[in-house]
Amino acid sequence: MEPPDLTRSGCPLLTDLYQLTMAQAFWKSGRATQEAVYHLFFRENPFGGGFTLACGLAHVVEYLEHWRFTGDDLAYLASLRTPAGRPLFDPAFLEYLAGLQFACDLDAVPEGTVVFPHEPLLRVQGPILQAQLIETALLYWINFPTLVATKAARICLAAGNAPVWEFGLRRAQGGEGGLVAARAAYVGGCAGTSNVLAARRWGLPVRGTHAHSWVMAFESELDAFLAFADAMPDSCVLLVDTYDSLTGVQHAIEVGRRLRARGLELAGIRLDSGDLTWLSRQARQMLDQAGFASTRILASNDLDEHQIARLRQEGACIDAWGVGTRLVTGWEQPALGGVYKLTAIRDSEGRWRPRIKVSESAVKTTTPGRLQVRRFEADGRFVADAIHDLDAPCPDAWEIVDPADATRRKRIPAGCTAADLLQPVFRSGRKVVALPDLENIRRRTRDQLARLDPGVLRLVQPYPYPAGLERGLHERKLRMILAARSAHNDGRS
| Euclidean distance between CA atoms 166 and 183, whole angstroms | 10
In a domain, 446, yes or no: no
Residues 6+ apart with CB under 8 A from 330: 46, 144, 147, 148, 151
| Euclidean distance between CA atoms 121 and 142, whole angstroms | 9
Contacts 24+ apart (CB under 8 A), 253-260: 253/286, 253/287, 253/290, 253/292, 254/222, 254/225, 255/222, 255/225, 255/226, 255/229, 256/290, 256/292, 256/295, 257/290, 258/226, 258/229, 259/229, 259/233
Q: What is the amino acid identity at position 102?
A: F
In a domain, 476, yes or no: no
| Euclidean distance between CA atoms 57 and 436, whole angstroms | 11
Element containing residue 372 per DSSP (H, E): strand 371-378
Per the structure, the complete domain to which residue 291 belongs is given by 149-328
CA angle 339, 343, 348 (to 5 degrees): 145
In a domain, 31, yes or no: no
Q: What is the amino acid identity at position 125?
A: Q
Please answer whether residues 221 and 145 qualify as being in contact, where contact means their C-beta atoms are separated by less than 8 angstroms: no
In a domain, 80, yes or no: no
Q: How many domains does the chain have?
A: 1
Give the pLDDT score at 487.
82
Give the pLDDT score at 455.
98
CA-to-CA dists, residue 113 to 150, 379, 405, 466, angstroms = 10, 19, 25, 16
List the pLDDT tens digit at each of the 493 positions of the chain: 344 577 778 899 999 999 999 999 999 999 999 999 999 999 999 999 999 999 999 999 999 999 999 999 999 999 999 999 999 999 999 999 999 999 999 999 999 999 999 999 999 999 999 999 999 999 999 999 999 999 999 999 999 999 999 999 999 988 899 999 999 999 999 999 999 999 999 999 999 999 999 999 999 999 999 999 999 999 999 999 999 999 999 999 999 999 999 999 999 999 999 999 999 999 999 999 999 999 999 999 999 999 999 999 999 999 999 999 999 999 999 999 999 999 999 999 999 999 999 988 778 899 999 999 999 999 999 999 999 999 999 999 999 999 989 999 999 999 999 999 999 999 999 999 999 999 999 999 999 999 999 999 999 999 999 999 999 999 999 999 999 988 877 655 4
| Euclidean distance between CA atoms 294 and 300, whole angstroms | 19
Give the pLDDT score at 489.
74
Give the pLDDT score at 359.
85
| Euclidean distance between CA atoms 257 and 241, whole angstroms | 20
In a domain, 114, yes or no: no
Residues 6+ apart with CB under 8 A from 228: 210, 214, 236, 238
In a domain, 440, yes or no: no
Question: How many CB atoms sit inside 10 A of residue 226's CB?
Answer: 17
| CATH number of the structural domain spanning residue 153 | 3.20.20.70
Give the pLDDT score at 9.
82
DSSP assignment letter at 361: S
In a domain, 245, yes or no: yes
DSSP E strands in 243-366: the ranges are 268-271, 296-299, 320-323, 339-346, 352-354
| Euclidean distance between CA atoms 218 and 216, whole angstroms | 5
| Euclidean distance between CA atoms 84 and 88, whole angstroms | 10
Q: Which of 367, 491, 407 is nearest to 40 (CA)?
A: 367
Q: Give the pTM.
A: 0.96
Mapped onto helix, strand or coil, the DSSP state of residue 418 is strand
Element containing residue 426 per DSSP (H, E): strand 423-427
Q: What is the amino acid identity at position 11?
A: C
| Euclidean distance between CA atoms 63 and 311, whole angstroms | 41
Residues 6+ apart with CB under 8 A from 81: 87, 88
In a domain, 234, yes or no: yes
Give the pLDDT score at 493.
42
